[in-house]
Amino acid sequence: MNIISLITGRAGPSGFGSASTAEQVTQGIDATNLTAIITGGASGIGLETARVLALRKAHVIIAARNVDAANQAKLLILKEDETASVKVLKLDLSSLKSVRAFVDSFNALHLPLHILINNAGVMFCPYELSEDGVESQFAINHLGHFHLTNLLLDKMKSTADASGIEGRIVNLSSIAHQYTYKGGIRFDSINDQNGYSEKRAYGQSKLANILHAKELSRRFQEEGVNITANAVHPGLIMTNLFKHAFTTMKILQILSFLVWKNVPQGAATTCYVALHPSLKGVSGNYFLDCNEMKPSKLAQDQVLATKLWDFTNKLIKSLTKP
């Protein structure tokens, strides 16, 4: 998609473009009997994703740190459609302990799991460490979601086997994955405050989201598992994600107002990749404006993807050992 397509909203090969909304890209799709977990579904594009999936009759689990806000989001969805199936469970992605507790709570519901949307995130944060002692943007945007996904994989695999329905994992990344540290990931200094850049740390975490989906896809194909994994860039949307750089981003929005999206448009690519039947079997790709796009060279590096997978597993093991 070029800048003209971004400005005009002209549709790409999929039939959709930057102006398409989440409702439009899922029109006519029946998600009855599908269960979806959406992290960060209490506000912004996460809430819109939850609303539209519920509108299409999926059973939606909103996983959120702020349970009160998530319950308010649930009420908004039910106000629009009182037959919607929505449940709220607490999840703090900055805590591996909370991730484990969330998975235990979800498993206790004895539900299948067809769709996992790793949507929540933070952006341009000042340097700080998570509860587990990991740089916060890497911890929340990548590490927490990686651990969550791994803990839910058995459930997704058993669901796909029992139902015959393809499972789908969607990682929300960003075009910002192109602006990261030299080499992509600071494996040897992930927590080093020296040389820390709020923007490069964010780009690093978004690159990790794409590499995570790429390695998941490779493993699924190798195992013959009926699950796909893809990454998406939702576009430029002014949400709470910009709270650490609101003034700067507001100026940028004014200067580049033609390419910014509203929330229904911002949730479109996520909903498209999560539900659209045309993407059956499509895995390991990166999507922008509901169309497949090539990410950066680093994001296409399979060796880097495997290295990140091994590094992340080793890090989680070291942080969760008794």
Secondary structure (3-state) at 315: helix
Runs of H (alpha helix) within 113-244: 136-138, 144-163, 198-223
- 3-state DSSP of 12-63: CCCCCCCCCCHHHHCCCCCCCCCEEEEECCCCHHHHHHHHHHHHCCCEEEEE
Question: Would residue 181 show up in a list of annotated catalytic residues for this protein?
Answer: no
Structure tokens at 74: 């649930």
Q: One of 196, 202, 272, 286 is an active-site residue; which one?
A: 196
Which is nearest to 202 in space by CA: 151, 169, 248, 259?
A: 248
Structure tokens at 305: 């993807």
CB-CB contact of 207 with 185 (8 Å): yes
CB-CB contact of 66 with 58 (8 Å): no
Query: Which residues are known to be catalytic?
Result: 196
